[in-house]
Amino acid sequence: MLRPRTRQALLLWCFLAPSLAIFLLYRVIPVIWNLVLSFQYWSPLKAAEFAGWDHYEDLWFDDVFWQALWNTLIVIASAPIGIALALGLALLVNADIRGRNVYRTIIFLSYPLMTVAVAIIWRWMFDERVGLINYAARTFDLVDKPIPFLNSFTWALPSVIVANIWQMLGFYMIILLAGLQNVPRELHEAAAIDGAGAWHRFTRITLPLIRPSLFLAFVVGMLNSITSFDLVYVMTGGGPGRATEILVTYIYKLGFVQTKFDDAAAVTIVFFVLLISIAWAANRFTGGNAGAVETE
């Protein structure tokens, strides 16, 4: 017979077991396996052999890899644009106006949509001949002739980014709204009585107080845009050329089209290091209390 305290602890571990098993199988082990695989020559039908830094050296001379890395960085850099837009919307739907719940729902509506379908919709919005965007641009005389957005080396990546922001906007908005609702109203009123203008109140009171939400939105946004595989795969397939190739699509192509699992693992490790360093930088930038947001 175990002591009650020990029994209790044992029971709690049993409660945690299913979740822990899933994360072990699909998060922890894969990260380690990727690391090991990236230092090996290996394919499903071949015995593993030590490769040292060979795969990383290959990447260094691989133009596609650099292009994919660069595109990924651009996509990450676009996350703050979406967050800034969402912050504006969050401030608006936080105002004391009629029907704000309806506005919130409408703006959030694109988040639960299937990304493959979103990609198909936006392929068509950006279409050269019959796309709505070209039609609007031509109606208002913004362009002389239609732009083939998704077949253009200049426009393809921005187009994918626009679709991504469209889908994520509502999600950022909800995160920021939660932060805004925690800002005490009295602070604003007191500052207003002291003669602080709206802009001052926003930069001195609101922004510092919603920092944790901003950080959360940025991390979620970065994770989401860095991994927007579905959008790229369906909208452009990485093309034209490699103009919209991002690291995730490159990993997929290396691994599951060319069956070079070991090379793909090396790209994954680079991808992972990039991810961690950006999250770390964002954490520093917002005051280094990200852990506090989640654990409290």
Partner 1 sequence: MGRYPRWPIHFALIGAGIVMLVPFYWVLKTSVSGENIYAYPPSIVPRHIHPFFYIDVWYSIPFARYFLNSVAVSMIAVVCNVAFNALAGYALTHGFRGKNAVMLLFLSCMMVPFQATIIPAYLITGKLGLLDSWLGLALPQCSTIICIFVFKSSFDAVPRSLIDAARIDGLPEWRIIWHIMLPLSRSAIATNVILAFIWSWNNFLWPLIMTRSADMQTLPLGLARFLSYQEDTTGALYAFCIMVLAPGLVLFLMAQREFIQGLTSGATKG
Q: Which of residues 137-156 bind partner 1 (CB under 8 A)?
A: 139
Check residue 172 for interaction with partner 1 (CB under 8 A).
no
SS3 49: strand
Asked if 95 is part of the footprint of partner 1 (rule: CB under 8 A), the reply reads yes
Q: How far apart are CA 96 and CA 267, in angstroms?
A: 49
Q: How far is the CB of 16 from partner 1 (least distance, A)?
A: 5
* Residue choice 34, 78, 164, 286 for contact with partner 1 (CB under 8 A): 34
The reply on whether position 110 binds partner 1 by CB under 8 A is yes
Instruction: Classify residue 230 by its DSSP letter.
Output: H
Q: 68 near 246, Cβ under 8 Å?
A: yes
CA torsion sign for 216, 29, 33, 251 is negative
d(CA 290, CA 285): 10
Q: Dig out the tokens for 40 from the structure.
A: 């090996």
Phi, psi of 184 (to 5 degrees): -65, 135
User: Can residue 104 be called a binding residue for partner 1 (CB under 8 A)?
Assistant: yes
CB of 152 to partner 1, least distance (A): 17
**Structure tokens that stand for 210 in this block:** 């919603």
190 scored as a contact of partner 1 (CB under 8 A): no
Which region, judged by CB under 8 A, interacts with partner 1, from 45-53, 60-68, 152-160, 179-187? 179-187
Q: Of these, 115, 159, 236, 244, which contacts partner 1 (CB under 8 A)?
A: 115
Site for partner 1 in 56-85 (CB under 8 A): none
Asked if 146 and 134 touch (Cβ cutoff 8 Å), the reply is yes
Q: For partner 1, which is the closer residue by CB, 182 or 203?
A: 182
Span of 51-59, 68-76, 153-161, 185-193 interacting with partner 1 by CB under 8 A: 185-193
Would you say 215 and 293 are in contact if contact means Cβ atoms under 8 Å apart? yes
Handedness of CA 183, 187, 192, 198 (dihedral sign): negative
Q: Based on the shown chain and the rule CB under 8 A, indicate whether residue 212 belongs to the binding site for partner 1.
A: yes
Q: How many CA atoms lie within 13 A of 290 on its CB side?
A: 16
Residue type, 266: A
Query: Distance between CA atoms of 178 and 293, rounded to whole angstroms?
Result: 12
CB of 63 to partner 1, least distance (A): 22
For residue 211, which of 183, 190, 188 has the smallest C-alpha distance?
183
Question: Contact with partner 1 (CB under 8 A): which of 65, 82, 147, 179?
Answer: 179
Q: Enumerate residues 213-272 that contact partner 1 by CB under 8 A.
A: 213, 216, 219, 223, 226-227, 229-230, 233-234, 248, 251-252, 255-256, 261, 264-265, 268, 271-272
Q: Binders of partner 1 among 40-59, rule CB under 8 A?
A: none
Stretch that binds partner 1, among 47-55, 57-65, 72-80, 275-283 (CB under 8 A): 275-283
Find the part of the chain contacting partner 1 (CB under 8 A) among 53-61, 62-70, 72-80, 178-186: 178-186
Inter-residue contact 278 to 220 (CB < 8 Å): no
Size of the site for partner 1 (CB under 8 A): 99
